[in-house]
């Protein structure tokens, strides 16, 4: 701690030693009190700044968002003008003050190219952080705009204009709540676009706005989440990362969905977890421990409303209903199936995941006709409602092997019967889903589960078992697979298991 008073001379020397000089334009973010005791108060700092850049230079301070004492005093000085902006106003004086401030309010965004921040980048002027860190470096928002970061959103603000009129303005590409600008500090130092010094007690950073923007833009292009924090409990950054992933999915032909039974009981939390992974589709199995078939009509209506309110679509219903040993009489099953179709229609979804009935081991062939009869009847009923059945392969059920799956699909012979291709279940049955199963069976897939396991059966994170998940995703992308990849990791319900599995999916996708 410096105990002596900070003088104008000390400030001038400090700024010049950092490289600020006559004729420069500088945008100042500050915490006046960080300097320690300053002789004659804030005006000394302002005079020092003006002395260094001279009449050929320009001094600017954001106002009033920063709520800084120095900025307020600065804005009250004779000759200082302000941009009338409801959220990101700037005060300025000097040679190019009017050029920087003109039409700030008319700009469609708060920090874009036609604002003081964007113009400072273009002019490669200076940013001075006086006793504050990168968190206050508003010009980084201009860089996010330049990169068109997918997490920027619209914001409508109400403000009082210069004539005392209350007005509204919708700002595009508005910066969201939390950021990790602090995490860029080291990058700027290492890339040589920032010098760090000290004036009084204040740590002072001086950056070239244009050079900084170039470095930050490169970082952002390499990793669209470069400005966000990695704290898994920061709801702001989790949801902003979700927006990046959502934008990434829009470049893909497939649709990413997830099986509800493996998430969490609380629906709102479930949807927040999915949004954090860029997912806006849901395969409806269980919600809060109850299957969609067990819900009352009121519960179903509430669920549908909630999904709609959060802009979710139901990719498929998966009622896990025909998981019992096959019986002689198909009529009760078909009657139940009609009810299930109504539920699928209620959720406005066009896909229904089914199993193939339990049959005794090693006697499967004896049951082929019975299974085929039911499937054929079910497909007829579904087709009338424009609903496609997705048949999931699973050990212990009739459709355990790829051969039997193919036989069923080909024998029914309708486009309304496709496979819910489960690679982990094929691996459990000893089949290699990519190398061992012919590509024409893969082409029967109306959905592929992102579900991995060892040949021995134990579930694994996607890409870490024997189910050749990565190969499947990659080859399907090669032919613009336009159906569902459904995250069903099988690692046990819960947020952490789901997020770990989803991150594996995203990692694989990032490598393709």
Which residue in the block uniquely carries the two structure tokens 């694994």? 460
Euclidean distance between CA atoms 419 and 396, whole angstroms: 17
Euclidean distance between CA atoms 429 and 244, whole angstroms: 37
For residue 410, count other CB atoms closer than 10 A to its CB: 12
- Minimum gap (Å) between residue 224 Cβ and Zn ion: 15
Beta bridge partners of residue 90, listed in sequence order = 62
Euclidean distance between CA atoms 452 and 501, whole angstroms: 10
Please tell me the number of Cα atoms within 13 Å of 242 on its side-chain side.
19
> How many contiguous H segments (helices) and E segments (strands) does the chain have?
18, 21
- Minimum gap (Å) between residue 227 Cβ and Zn ion: 10
- Minimum gap (Å) between residue 503 Cβ and Zn ion: 17
- 225/293 with CB nearer Zn ion: 225
CB contact set of 82 (below 8 Å; sequence gap of 6+): 63, 75, 89, 90, 91, 92, 101
- Minimum gap (Å) between residue 185 Cβ and Zn ion: 16
- 175/433 with CB nearer Zn ion: 175
Report the Cα 503 to chain-centroid distance in Å: 12
Which residue in the block uniquely carries the two structure tokens 């702001």? 236
- 187/381 with CB nearer Zn ion: 187
CB contact set of 1 (below 8 Å; sequence gap of 6+): 36, 201
Beta bridge partners of residue 58, listed in sequence order = 25, 94
- Minimum gap (Å) between residue 182 Cβ and Zn ion: 11
Which residue in the block uniquely carries the two structure tokens 């403000």? 159
- Minimum gap (Å) between residue 181 Cβ and Zn ion: 11
- Minimum gap (Å) between residue 191 Cβ and Zn ion: 23
| Strand, coil or helix: 510 | helix
- Minimum gap (Å) between residue 240 Cβ and Zn ion: 8
Structure tokens at 56: 């050929």
3-state SS record for 141-155:
HHHHHHCCCCCCEEE
Euclidean distance between CA atoms 222 and 217, whole angstroms: 9
- 276/433 with CB nearer Zn ion: 276
Which residue in the block uniquely carries the two structure tokens 């569902």? 484
Q: Helix-strand-coil percent breakdown of the chain, rounded to 5? A: 40, 20, 40
- Minimum gap (Å) between residue 228 Cβ and Zn ion: 6
Bridging pattern class, strands 126-130 and 90-94: unpaired
Which residue in the block uniquely carries the two structure tokens 């470096």? 137
Structure tokens at 433: 């889903």
Which residue in the block uniquely carries the two structure tokens 């889903």? 433
- Minimum gap (Å) between residue 178 Cβ and Zn ion: 4
Euclidean distance between CA atoms 327 and 339, whole angstroms: 19
Closest CA to 351 of 375, 374, 382: 382
- 150/319 with CB nearer Zn ion: 150
Interface positions with Zn ion (CB under 5 A): 178, 229, 234, 236-237
354 sits in which H/E element = strand 351-354
- Minimum gap (Å) between residue 175 Cβ and Zn ion: 13
User: Which bin fits 192, alpha (ψ -120 to 50), beta or left (φ > 0)?
Assistant: left
- Minimum gap (Å) between residue 137 Cβ and Zn ion: 16
- Minimum gap (Å) between residue 401 Cβ and Zn ion: 48
Residue 228: C-alpha distances to residues 135, 153, 218, 237, 238 (Å): 12, 15, 15, 6, 9
Closest CA to 246 of 274, 283, 271, 222: 274
């Amino acid at each position: 701690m410096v105990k002596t008073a900070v003088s104008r001379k000390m400030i001038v020397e400090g700024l010049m030693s950092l490289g600020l000089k006559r004729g420069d334009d500088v945008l100042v973010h500050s915490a006046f009190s960080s300097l320690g005791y300053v002789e004659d108060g804030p005006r000394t700092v302002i005079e020092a700044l003006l002395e260094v850049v001279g009449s050929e230079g320009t001094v600017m301070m954001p106002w009033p968002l920063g709520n800084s004492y120095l900025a307020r005093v600065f804005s009250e000085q004779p000759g200082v003008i302000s941009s009338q902006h409801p959220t990101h106003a700037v005060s300025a004086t000097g040679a190019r003050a009017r050029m920087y401030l003109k039409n700030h309010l008319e700009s469609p965004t708060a920090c874009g190219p036609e604002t003081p921040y964007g113009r400072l980048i273009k002019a490669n002027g200076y940013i001075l952080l006086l006793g504050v860190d990168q968190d206050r470096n508003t010009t980084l928002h201009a860089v996010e705009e330049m990169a068109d970061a997918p997490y920027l959103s619209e914001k409508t603000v109400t403000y009082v204009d210069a004539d005392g009129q209350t007005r509204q303005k919708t700002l595009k590409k508005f910066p969201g709540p939390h950021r990790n600008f602090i995490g860029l500090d080291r990058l700027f130092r290492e890339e040589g676009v920032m010098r760090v010094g000290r004036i009084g007690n204040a740590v002072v950073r001086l950056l070239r706005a244009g050079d900084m923007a170039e470095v930050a833009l490169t970082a952002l292009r390499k990793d669209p989440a470069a400005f966000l924090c990695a704290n898994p409990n920061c709801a702001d950054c989790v949801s902003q990362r979700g927006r990046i992933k959502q934008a990434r999915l829009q470049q893909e032909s497939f649709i990413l969905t997830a099986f509800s039974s493996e998430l969490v009981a609380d629906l709102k939390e479930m949807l927040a977890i999915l949004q954090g992974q860029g997912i806006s589709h849901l395969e409806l199995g269980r919600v809060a421990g109850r299957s969609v078939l067990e819900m009352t009509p009121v519960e179903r209506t509430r669920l549908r409303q909630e999904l709609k309110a959060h802009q979710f679509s139901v990719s498929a219903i998966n009622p896990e209903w025909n998981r019992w040993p096959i019986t002689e009489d198909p009529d009760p099953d078909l009657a139940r199936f009609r009810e299930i179709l109504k539920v699928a229609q209620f959720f406005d979804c066009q896909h229904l995941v089914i199993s193939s009935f339990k049959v005794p081991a090693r006697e499967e062939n004896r049951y082929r006709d019975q299974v085929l009869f039911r499937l054929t009847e079910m497909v007829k009923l579904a087709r009338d409602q424009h609903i496609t059945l997705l048949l999931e392969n699973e050990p212990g059920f009739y459709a355990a092997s790829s051969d039997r799956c193919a036989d069923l699909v080909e024998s029914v012979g309708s486009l309304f019967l496709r496979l819910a291709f489960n690679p982990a279940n094929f691996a459990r049955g000893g089949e290699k889903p990519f190398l061992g199963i012919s590509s024409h069976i893969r082409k029967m897939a109306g959905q592929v589960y992102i579900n991995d396991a060892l040949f021995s059966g134990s579930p694994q994170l996607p890409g870490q078992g024997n189910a050749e998940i990565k190969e499947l995703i990659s080859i399907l992308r090669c032919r613009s697979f336009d159906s569902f990849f459904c995250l069903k990791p099988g690692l046990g319900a819960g947020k952490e298991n789901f997020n770990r599995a989803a991150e594996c999916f995203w990692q694989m996708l990032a490598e393709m």
